Amino acid sequence: MKNLFSVLIVVLSISSFVKAQNIQSKNYSTIGYIKENGTIQNSNYKTVGLIKEDGTIQNKNYGTIGYIKDDRTIQNKNYSTVGYIKEDGTVQNRNYKTIGYIKDDGTVQDNNYSTIGYARNVNKEWAAVVYFFFDFD
């Protein structure tokens, strides 16, 4: 019984560690996952990128491809600004033109308010990076 309890504790620990949020298309099909540690996976659970705690955005080979700055500015690997995420979830390109929206409920919309996907329980900056700024394939 003691061994069973130990195994159960280990399984619960591992399952909470790998908890991930679904990234979905507008038709609710899963197109990927973002784990709590910032690992980005495709629908086959293959790692395609990572958003580190310090805001560094990396590809699958851990090469830096961009940054999320504290003021929600998105930069490429050369520190050139490629966009902005406003506090209300409005996503803008480097010229301040609105290119989309991340709603509080995780709905992702293009600049015409058409739903392009869902990123429920994913922070807005991470969702914007995945949907609008970087291709992780």
Q: What is the pTM of this model?
A: 0.81
- Round the average pLDDT of the chain to a whole number and report it: 87
Instruction: Report whether pLDDT(8) > 50.
Output: no
Mean pLDDT computed over 16-31: 81
Read off the pLDDT of residues 91-136 as tens digits, 9 standing for 90 and up: 999 999 999 999 999 999 999 999 999 999 999 999 999 999 988 6
Nearest partner of 32 among 43, 21, 19, 44, judged by Cα: 43
Read off the pLDDT of residues 30-89 as tens digits, 9 standing for 90 and up: 999 999 999 999 999 999 999 999 999 999 999 999 999 999 999 999 999 999 999 999
